[in-house]
Structure 1
Amino acid sequence: MSAHPQPDSRSHPERETGHDRGSLVEVEHDAYGTPGVVRLTLNRPAAFNALSEALLDELHAQLAALEKSDARVVVLAGAGRAFCAGHDLKEMRAAPSLDYYQRLFARCTKTMLTIRRLPQPVIARVHGIATAAGCQLVAMCDLAVAADTARFATSGVNLGLFCATPAVPLSRNVMPKAALDMLLTGDFIDALAAKLHGLVNRVAPLDGLDAEVAALAASICAKPRDAVSMGKALFYRQLEMGVEAAYQLAGQTMACNMMMDTALEGVQAFIDKRPPEWRR
């Protein structure tokens, strides 16, 4: 959903049906000069990167392709003046049927859950606006770095459309009253408020945004791949459990982790007072 004014995507057919559909999501390997960092850039700048059906499909395909790749960290960015203005409302309004909307939101959910299921951490690089499903995208990413000029809103309610699907990850990132404030008012919050509420991890000046993203990605890439992927999976699984079940799962995960070569090397290196030698 998006309450931000958008140009009609049908007036820019090259963005949707050009010779290279992959242009809807630009892919950069070894981004920021760091091996293993893959940057995916939403590429509908004239429409504030609104999530058309074609863009959702392409984003899902690119994310899914990374699952078994050598990528260590994924960065999700937006081209032009904004990160993402949510769903393409004109496209949605052109086919008003319950069946269509159910299929559309199922398609969006599939894409969002792919982010969660990837073994690699996904970092949202946010500038401009992130509204409705765009805000959902930020909340669904594992980490987020925002420019100090970025703004966030779940603005569907302004159009009589409660942002129900964005509410799912928002309510799992942001304090309940702050999340409900955003959902019920549709008002924008700035990057500092987003950090205070837990929606983003770091805030940087716009001209230093890429440096901040690069530093975070490089820090993660310096850690053992298996520990990071295992840790991400454990983190989300235990959140959905009661505390006793979470401890059981965490204990089993740590025991298995301790048997891995990377942990054995890391602990021995600590004992030997030397840097660990990770196998890439």
Structure 2
Amino acid sequence: MKIIQTIPVPVIAEVNGLATAAGCQLVASCDIAVASEKSRFATPGVNVGLFCSTPAVALGRAVPRKVALEMLFTGEPISAHDALLHGLVSKVVPEESLMKETKRIAQRICQTSHSVVALGKATFYRQMAQSLNDAYRLTSHAMVENLALKDGQEGINAFVQKRKPVWTNIKGISKDDKEDK
């Protein structure tokens, strides 16, 4: 599950039913989660004498403590709408729209710069474990690093020129920056 946060591409969960224990953990670990209205989420291990310890790690980081503990202590499922309310999923849609909406999100992400998304994802997860001051320091450095990326420069140029950017998806400093050094 830890690899989900460290790989450079966004990981999207599509849920259409009951996600329990490790399934619930997987949803909580993903960067984005889209669920159908009929979906439910539970950590029922306690009902068979096995506390869902590893699912608790991801769940406790995705939802408020009291929600996580109620799920872990009772094993009772929560609805898709409660999962949305508490941040376990990012969107709830009718079952017939689930695949279309998940694909739409994935395609929208694919239209952005892969190198910028990778930098942003890595920075997001790193700053989450830091103090507020350290998080701002880290993200300020990431902004400078982002501006040095070829796609960072392309995005700014495209914005100024009022055109759509053409991403290179190459990690590295821009050609202009290399010539200045």
Q: Shared topology, TM-score over 0.5?
A: yes
CA RMSD of aligned residues (A): 1.0
**Any idea what the Cα deviations from partners look like across 1:153-172, whole Å, max 9, x if unmatched?**
01111112211111101111
Amino acid at match of 2:41: F
Query: How far off is 1:261 after superposition?
Result: 1.2
Out of 59, 70, 83, the position equivalent to 1:170 is 59
Give the structure 1 partner of residue 160 of structure 2.
271
Out of 179, 198, 203, the position equivalent to 2:92 is 203
Out of 175, 183, 191, the position equivalent to 2:80 is 191
Is residue 253 of structure 1 aligned with residue 142 of structure 2? yes
Out of 135, 139, 145, the position equivalent to 2:34 is 145
Amino acid at match of 1:153: A
Structure 2: give runs of 5+ residues left out of the alignment.
170-181
SS of residue in 2 equivalent to 1:120:
coil
Query: How far off is 1:273 after superposition?
Result: 1.5
**Hey, what's the Cα distance between the residues in 1 that align with 2:123 and 2:38?**
33
Is residue 219 of structure 1 aligned with residue 108 of structure 2? yes
**Any idea what the Cα deviations from partners look like across 1:184-215, whole Å, max 9, x if unmatched?**
11101111110111000111111111001011
SS of residue in 2 equivalent to 1:172:
helix
SS of residue in 1 equivalent to 2:108:
helix
Out of 236, 248, 255, the position equivalent to 2:125 is 236
SS of residue in 2 equivalent to 1:146:
strand
Amino acid at match of 2:73: L
Amino acid at match of 1:169: A
More helix by share: 2
**Any idea what the Cα deviations from partners look like across 1:66-86, whole Å, max 9, x if unmatched?**
xxxxxxxxxxxxxxxxxxxxx
Amino acid at match of 2:92: V
**Which stretch has the larger CA shift, 113-122 or 224-233?**
113-122
**Which stretch has the larger CA shift, 208-217 or 159-168?**
159-168
**Hey, what's the Cα distance between the residues in 1 that align with 2:115 and 2:167?**
11
**Hey, what's the Cα distance between the residues in 1 that align with 2:2 and 2:148?**
30
User: How many residue pairs are counted as aligned between the two chains?
Assistant: 169
**Hey, what's the Cα distance between the residues in 1 that align with 2:162 and 2:50?**
58
**Hey, what's the Cα distance between the residues in 1 that align with 2:61 and 2:140?**
23
Query: How far off is 1:277 after superposition?
Result: 1.8
Give the structure 2 partner of residue 160 of structure 1.
49
Query: How far off is 1:146 after superposition?
Result: 0.5
Amino acid at match of 1:247: Y
**Any idea what the Cα deviations from partners look like across 1:6-64, whole Å, max 9, x if unmatched?**
xxxxxxxxxxxxxxxxxxxxxxxxxxxxxxxxxxxxxxxxxxxxxxxxxxxxxxxxxxx
**Hey, what's the Cα distance between the residues in 2 that align with 1:279 and 1:159?**
52
